[in-house]
Structure 1
Amino acid sequence: MYNPTIRAPARFWANRSLAIKGLVVIALPLAVLLGSLLSLYLASNAEARAEDDVRRAFAIQRDTYQVHALLAEAAAGVRGYVLTGDNRFLAPFRKAQREVPSSMARLDEAIEDPIVRDHFEELRVLEAEKRTGLQQIVDVARVGNIAEANVEDALLANKLALDEVRVTIDDIQRREAVVLDERRTRVEEVRAGFLILTAVSALVGLLGSLSAVYLFSTGIVRRVRKLEGDAEALARGERLTEMPEEADEVGRLAQRLVRASALLHDREDDLRASEERFRLVIEKVRDYGIFALDPDGMVTSWNLGAERIKGWRAEDILGRHFSNFYPTETRDHLPEEMLERARENGSAEDEGWRIRKDGSRFWANVVITALRDEQGKLRGFAKVTRDMTERRRSEEALKEARKDAEAASRAKSEFLSRTSHELRTPLNAILGFGQLLEIDEDDFARNHREAIGQITKAGRHLLSLINDLLDIASIEAGSSDLTIETLDLGQLLEEAYSLGKPIVASANLNFELERAGGNIPVRGDARRVTQIILNLIGNAAKYNRDGTFVRLGCRFDGALVRVTVEDDGPGIAEAEAKRLFTPFDRLGQQDRAKIEGTGLGLALSKSLAESMDGGIGFEALAKGSRFWFSLARAAQPENSPLGRNTNDVTESSCPRT
């Protein structure tokens, strides 16, 4: 039979929030417990304060005794100094001068009792007077003409002052002892009261805790067990339908579990629909073969793209091993190797020949990805295949075109080399006969001498052209006779400066050298480095018709050293600068008749610099131009012929870019 007088209080208690229940069940015993802890804390603090007071009293006694001892020793030392004049007696006085102020400062900080404070203020005055009197006696004794009676009076006054200090210190000690006894008595009384209060609080807390456990077990535990059963049913996938009546947090949680059960079932339905849509999307992809394998490599799914690329229908390939797609030369090992790599690394990629159902081959890009569950257990593999046959054909065609271009380049280099060699033989004869004619040119008429000069001049120009062609051809063919070694760039600059002087002087220009302050070790071929420098100097001298100088120097650029050739000539237009290092492309075609050249100097310099792992370039200046080429810096051991401190000298030899 329903009894409202019994059910109403239980219903009221069940509908209260967990916060209120927690306050009733836990807060009151906890408050009692906190009160007990606070009592213990206060008792502990009182005891700690008492111990601090005791330590402070001991410290006050120690410091007062120390002040008295220091002053007494200082007085004795001053007395000995006055009587003997020996400075060693002043050691206690100097010690007192150093340590008494710090002891007085500690006493000033430690003393709290007002009576002790009054005595301390008296002590402060007496201590200052005592030290001042001692200092005066020392000062007078140092002069040496003080009367003995005056000394005795001063010492007697000092003795009286020390007695007063001792009396004051005794007063401080007696008062501190009284204060200490009072504090100890008060602490013992407080500690006893706190212990009684703690015992009462512990008893009340125990009773409150027992009551809280009873209320908790009767009002919450039963319903939590019911909630646990609902959670287990939800984990099994069962739908919860019974809604609890209670309105507290536990009841609302049970209601949310019921709603969550309905929501999970709805989402499972949506997930199944989404998986179906995803399956349809995968199956309709035509450009990629996408299918799944089980852990042993058997095909478990098949899409339209796989059917189009491989030629197998789903019913023909499902359940068969994917090694059927590999040619006979790789079928026995590559499929298992791919699966093993995917197991170890998560995925494996490969490109190679594959076999269609009809036996035809195609070039495929294949990616196999391992599929694992949340526990890391292997569930199978996803395999994506793309037909790359057309791309491979394009790559092969590109390789063939590259081979043809390389063959054409080699043929060009061979042609230049052979042609240059063939031209050299008759050219040597022309130059030889021209030089013979020059020997006897005084026997010829003026017009004949001019013709002989033109013959030798043209022969030398043609010989220079042939030599440049041979150098370029040998560099392009990879057969250049370079000897890469460690060089002293400073010495090479000096040599190039000497060789370039006549070239610059013939153009009526000043030739400047930024001389290095020491050894500059670089890596390169000495002959070729000098050749590049002279090429750049010759260009600067030829084209600098309106300026006044050509300057040779160097700059540091990180791990490289730049050799620079500057001039203050007309410069080079920005539009033409990109053609500077093109073979046979001479800038200023309208002036070709006035300025000699083959059009190969800069191109050859570029090839030589790059063959020595360097570079070459051009910079436009406000007036004129700067050409540069770079060489790698080299470190030298201490016993190097370039010098023991090469690195240090190098850092200060050339400025930095």
Structure 2
Amino acid sequence: MRQVAVETALFHELRSQDQWQRKMASISSEIDRMPTTTTLEESSLERLRKKIDLMQIIYPRLTSRTRSTPDGSTTPGSELEVAMETRAVASLLVVTQEVIDIAHELIRGNREQAKTALLRMQTSIGMVILAMGALIVFVWLLVSRRILQPLRIFEQGTKQLAAGNYAHRLKLVQNDEIGDLAEEFNAMIQRVEAAAVELGKHRDNLAEQVLSRTTELTKAKVVAESLSQYARSLIEASLDPLVTISAQGKITDVNDASVQATGVPREQLIGTDFSSYFTEPEEARKGYQRTFSEGLVRNYPLAIRHKTGRIMDVLYNAAVYTDAKGMVLGVFAAARDITERKLLDQVLHEKNAELERATAAAEKANLGKSDFLSSMSHELRTPLNAILGFAQLIESDSPAPTVSQKRSLDQVLIAGWYLLELINEILDLAQIESGKIVLSLEPVSMVEVMDECRAMVEPLATKRCIKMTFSPLESAYFIEADRTRMKQVLINLLSNAIKYNKPGGSVILTCAVVAANSIRINIQDTGTGLTPEQMAQLFQPFNRLGRESGPEEGTGIGLVVAKRLVELMGGTIGVESAVGVGSAFWIEFKLKTARQLDIEDAAQVVLARPPVPEGTQARTLLYVEDNPANLELIEQLLARRSDLRVLSAADGNLGIEYARAYQPDVILMDINLPGIGGLEAMKVLRSDPSTAHIPIIALSANALPRDIEKSLAAGFFGYLTKPVKLDEFMDHVDLALKSPAAGWNADVDRSF
């Protein structure tokens, strides 16, 4: 045991470990060989074996706590490993003490053997104690050099770092974790030093920025104060009362105009209820609440009461104002004094009422004038008809009048026909001004209208030696107009261009498309032309522009009628003139797509009718129409109806004569006809017993309900509107053909 204890001091060496194992095995063998005489000795030996086994377990743990360095030396591990090794040594000492105690027991049982064993065990235990002491000293020195000294170095480094000495570095060189930690610590100090330098730069820069910002804020404060003073001066400069109102309805600020309006000083106004300064406080509060709900109120009528009792009528304009976060703080309101304007409005209202009464009286007088002119025109037609009629009878009587009588009759006829023309113009103007004129707007072919007008004015041009030139149209243009009135306008313009031309002059009519959907008809003459003053008075009624004493007769209303007819048909009229050069009158209309005559469609409609039994007598339909295109459409539509025979008349008078002569089964009557209109022609036929039974169907481009009702009430059997729907047209014709010969039921709805 003594030898084992000595060698234990060197247990960190492999040789010592091997010797330890061999000695412990030898001790175990000796214990096994020891003789026992009593049960107590056997028990003691058994306990001793167990303690030896425990020592063999503790020793390997003690040797495993060390590690080898690259040079072969051993170094302790961490502080935890050193503590565990110390505990292992202590445990080994305890077990050794227990072994000694067991040995004492054996000695007492067997002194001779015990003495020998005890001596050897004491030696071993002494060696173990010496080894343990040496180990503890070694471990302490190692911990002091490897751990405590570096910790003191680290402590000194942290103190230098805390004191701001960033140039300090740890002078510690070890090839272990503590050495690595020292290197990281030095690197950290280096980074802190760099950061401190950078921070110093930023601190200097920040100081400069703070100084600059402080200067800017000072300047901004000066500007803000200036702006505030400027804004205040603007508010005070306003002639309108301005006020800011809090969310609770209290006045927070006012301008001097508000003080003048209320008569209350600014200090007394601020903090009071704003509505208390109005004649109707409740209305003021409603306007304030409306401003909050809608965000804005314009021209809200109120009245401010001055403390003296004076009332100021105002219109308030108010809006909410908010803070930087968008929270509504209150209302900003401005009042506009309208007291004088209200008085002016009242005066204006009274003047307007007087003007309306005067206008109504003038319109009534104008209507009376138009009614008078219309009535007188009709009254004049009757004696004029007799004059012209008897003059023509005398002219054609046998024996023929003498030369002197012939000259007198010619003057009577010329004057009579001119008087008839004047009466017609006056009647047209009266109807236009009274709104009684009825237009039948439909697609009108410009080629057809111009050809008809040319044929009517060429004799007058030939008589006055005026050359007429009509430029050919590039294509078949159609406009939406009243065919008869369109011819009336063109004939009036052409007649004026001939009458007011110079001898041997010329008249040129051209048509040109001036836009994508407009056409202009231009009539250029070579007359004396018009001055700017004359052009300014050109379209005034009964104004002949100073030509009353000239050789040409007239009333001065032809151009007025032409202008108003053109405008009623949706067109425009104008003139360009130069003194000594001539004048150019033009009218402009929108182009219209003409209704295409589709014979096949008409045939399909006609053939869809039930076949007519053989031997059935054909019925006669009289169509009174001045538009060749419409006439052709109806003729083609009825061409394959074997049960119908179509007659046509170009004007109302001829239609009346045809109706009396041919007794048709049904009459199709256009409303707007030259000479006598369709409505007048229908009344004539209704008043004649020989034609009163014939059903007459009106055909017109006018689709206004009041015109349809008026026509049906006047006596028409039915009313068709253009463009004609073929099925409805044929149904209407069949309905008229089935009506009793003596009359028809007025309760049936016949408007299509």
TM category, shorter: 0.5 to 0.7
Does residue 585 of structure 1 match 2:539?
no
Deviation at 1:375, TM superposition (A): 2.7
Could you say what the CA RMSD is over the residues aligned between the two structures, in angstroms?
4.3
User: How many angstroms apart in 2 are the aligned matches of 1:472 and 1:355?
Assistant: 56
- Report if aligned partners of 1:427, 1:459 keep a CA contact under 8 Å in 2: no
Match of 1:573 among 531, 552, 570: 531
Residues 200-234 of structure 1 show CA distances to partners (whole Å, capped at 9, x for unaligned) of: xxxxxx9xx9899545411232574xx6xxxxxxx
2:512 to 538, 544, 555: 555
Q: How far, CA to CA, are the matches of 1:431 and 1:323 in structure 2?
A: 81
Per-residue deviation, 1:524: 2.2
1:541 pairs with 486, 489, 498, which one?
498
- The structure 2 residue matched to 1:255, chosen from 207, 211, 228, is 211
Separation (CA, whole Å) in 1 of partners of 2:518 and 2:282: 52
How far residue 308 of structure 1 moved from its aligned partner, in angstroms, is 5.0
Residue 192 of structure 2 is aligned to residue 219 of structure 1:
no
Partner AA of 2:507 in structure 1: V
Q: Which residue of 2 aligns with 1:291?
A: 243
Equivalent residue number for residue 299 of structure 2: 350
Which residues of 2 match residues 66-85 of structure 1 at below 5 A? none
- 1:278/1:333 CA distance change after superposition, 3 Å: closer
Please say if residues 311 and 356 of structure 1, whose CA atoms lie closer than 8 Å, have aligned partners that are also in contact: no
Select the residue among 506, 518, 522 that pairs with 2:475.
518
One-letter code of the match for 1:563?
Answer: I
Instruction: Quote the Cα distance in structure 1 between the aligned partners of 2:281 and 2:574.
Output: 56
- Evaluate the alpha carbon distance shift between residue 417 and residue 304 of structure 1 in structure 2; reply closer, same or farther with a 3 A threshold: same
Give yes or no for contact 1:413–1:473 (8 Å, CA) kept in 2.
no
1:290–1:302 CA contact under 8 A, matched in 2: yes
- Tell me which residue corresponds to 2:334: 384
Deviations 1:294-345 (A, max 9, x none): 346554333343455577776469632549748699678655444433x2xx
Give structure 2 stretches of 5+ with no counterpart.
1-163, 165-183, 600-628, 631-752
Question: Which residue, out of 584, 588, 597, partners 1:626?
Answer: 584
Measured after TM superposition, the shift of residue 600 of structure 1 is 0.8
Say which SS state the counterpart of residue 253 (structure 2) adopts.
Answer: coil
The alpha-carbon distance between structure 1 residues 566 and 331, as it changes in their structure 2 partners (threshold 3 A), is same
Q: Give the whole-Å Cα distance in 1 for the aligned partners of 2:248 and 2:236.
A: 22
Write the distance in 2 (CA, Å) between the matches of 1:544 and 1:555. 24
Separation in 2, partners of 1:424, 1:382: 69
Q: Give the match for residue 483 of structure 1.
A: 440
Tell me the distance in 2 between the aligned counterparts of 1:526 and 1:409.
Answer: 33
The structural deviation recorded for 1:564 is 1.6
**Counterpart Cα distance in 1 of 2:431 and 2:190:** 101
2:74 is matched with none
Question: For the Cα contact (< 8 Å) 1:537–1:565, is it kept in 2?
Answer: yes
Which structure 2 residues correspond to residues 49-60 of structure 1 after superposition, within 5 A?
Answer: none
Task: Check the 8 A contact 1:410/1:477 in 2, yes or no.
Answer: no
The change in CA–CA distance for 1:254 and 1:337 in structure 2 (over 3 A counts) is closer
The residue number in structure 2 matching 1:150 is none
The 2-side partners of 1:538 and 1:595 are apart by 11
Cα displacement string for residues 583-633 of structure 1 (whole angstroms, at most 9, x for unaligned residues): 22213526x441011111112211122222321111237943211011122
Distance 1:491 1:333, change over 3 A: farther
Q: Given the superposition, is the C-alpha separation of residues 217 and 532 from structure 1 closer, same or farther in structure 2, using an over 3 Å criterion? A: same
Post-superposition offset of 1:262: 4.6
Counterpart residue number, 1:603: 560
- Superposed displacement of residue 498, structure 1: 2.7
Report the equivalent of 1:375: 325
Offset of residue 385 of structure 1: 1.9
Bigger Rg over Cα? 2
CA distance in 2: counterparts of 1:475 and 1:294, whole angstroms? 64
Q: What is the CA-CA distance between 1:523 and the residue it aligns to?
A: 2.3
The CA distance in 2 between the partners of 1:636 and 1:328, in whole Å, is 68
Provide the rounded CA distance (Å) in 1 between the counterparts of 2:496 and 2:585. 10
Which one-letter code corresponds to 2:534 in the other structure? Answer: E
Of 530, 540, 548, the residue aligned with 2:487 is 530
Q: Is the 8 A contact 1:289 1:385 kept in 2?
A: yes
AA of the residue aligned to 1:350:
N
Alpha-carbon distance, 1:571 to partner: 2.8
8 A contact 2:291–2:320 mirrored in 1? no
* Deviation, structure 1 residue 562: 1.2
Distance 2:328 2:482 in 1: 62
Residue by residue over 1:427-457, the C-alpha shift from the partner in whole angstroms, topping out at 9 and shown as x without a partner, is 2243133221342257767666655555554
Which structure would you say has the larger RCO, counting Cα contacts within 8 Å and 6 or more residues apart?
A: 1
Give me the whole-angstrom Cα distance separating, in 2, the residues matched to 1:210 and 1:398.
Answer: 97
Query: Which of residues 456, 460, 464 is equivalent to 1:499?
Result: 456
Q: Taking structure 1 as reference, are residues 429 and 387 closer, same or farther at Cα in structure 2, changes over 3 Å only?
A: same
Amino acid at match of 2:531: A
Between stretches 365-374 and 389-398, larger displacement belongs to 389-398
Q: Distance in 2 between matches of 1:324 and 1:475?
A: 59
TM-score (norm 2): 0.47
- Give distance in 1, aligned partners of 2:524 and 2:354: 42
Which residue among 252, 257, 274 is the counterpart of 1:305?
Answer: 257
> Helix, strand or coil: the match of 2:254?
coil
Partners of 2:541 and 2:557 within 8 A in 1:
yes
Q: Which structure 1 residue ranges, 5 or more long, are not aligned?
A: 1-9, 11-205, 228-247, 644-657
Distance (Å, rounded) in 1 between the aligned partners of 2:264 and 2:428: 61
Residues 1:427 and 2:380 are matched in the alignment: yes
Aligned to 1:144: none
Contact 2:302/2:316 (<8 A) preserved: no
Distance 1:465 1:351 in 2: 59
Secondary structure of residue in 1 paired with 2:252? coil
Please state how far the C-alpha of 1:513 moved relative to its aligned partner: 1.9
Give 1:414 deviation, angstroms. Answer: 1.1
Q: Please list, as runs of the form range in 1=range in 2, the aligned pairs for 1:72-221 lying within 5 A after superposition.
A: 213-221=191-199
Secondary structure of the structure 2 residue equivalent to 1:367: strand
Question: Residues 506 and 332 (structure 1 numbering): CA distance in 2 closer, same or farther, change over 3 Å?
Answer: farther
Identity score, percent: 23
Match of 2:486, SS state, is helix
Return closer, same or farther for 1:385/1:617 CA change in 2, 3 Å cut-off.
same
Post-superposition Cα deviations, 1:534-553, rounded to whole Å, max 9, x if no partner, equal: 11011011111334332223
Compute the displacement of 1:514 (Å). Answer: 2.0
Structure 1 position 533, deviation (Å): 0.7
Contact (CA 8 Å) 2:316, 2:335: kept in 1 or not?
A: yes
Name which of 268, 273, 286 aligns with 1:320: 273
CA–CA distance in structure 2, aligned partners of residues 602 and 626 of structure 1: 13
Aligned length: 410
Q: Is the 1:547–1:569 contact (alpha carbons within 8 Å) kept by the matching residues of 2?
A: no
1:413–1:474 contact (8 Å) kept in structure 2: no
Question: Equivalents in 1 of 2:433, 2:331: separation in Å?
Answer: 51
Any conservation in 2 of the 1:312–1:356 contact (CA below 8 Å)?
Answer: no
Letter in 1 for 2:321: L
Aligned partner of 1:275 among 204, 228, 238: 228
Give the distance between the partners of 1:509 and 1:323, measured in 2 at CA.
86
Alpha-carbon distance in structure 1 between the residues aligned to 2:282 and 2:501:
70
